[in-house]
Amino acid sequence: MPTRPWRKSSYCQEGEACVHISTAPTLVRTADADPPRSVLTVGAKAFGGLLDMLKSSGGR
């Protein structure tokens, strides 16, 4: 399944403390570097649920 190129988080600070993301229609891949050393792949629906929970908690 083709995925999009890696994108860096808009909340990234300087240096290596960044989250990179690549998406496909049903999957979201996250990594801590570009090119990625380790990749976590989750379903798009589960990732959306995580984002909703983080937004509703105010990042706490």
Q: What is the DSSP string of 1-60?
A: ---PPPEE-TT--SSS---EEEE-SSEEEEESSSS-SSEEEEEHHHHHHHHHHHHHTTT-
Domain boundaries, the chain: 7-51
What pLDDT, on the 0 to 100 scale, is given for residue 40?
A: 92
Q: What confidence score (pLDDT) does residue 54 get?
A: 85
Identify the segments of the chain with pLDDT beneath 70: 1-3, 14-16, 34, 59-60
| pLDDT score recorded for residue 2 | 66
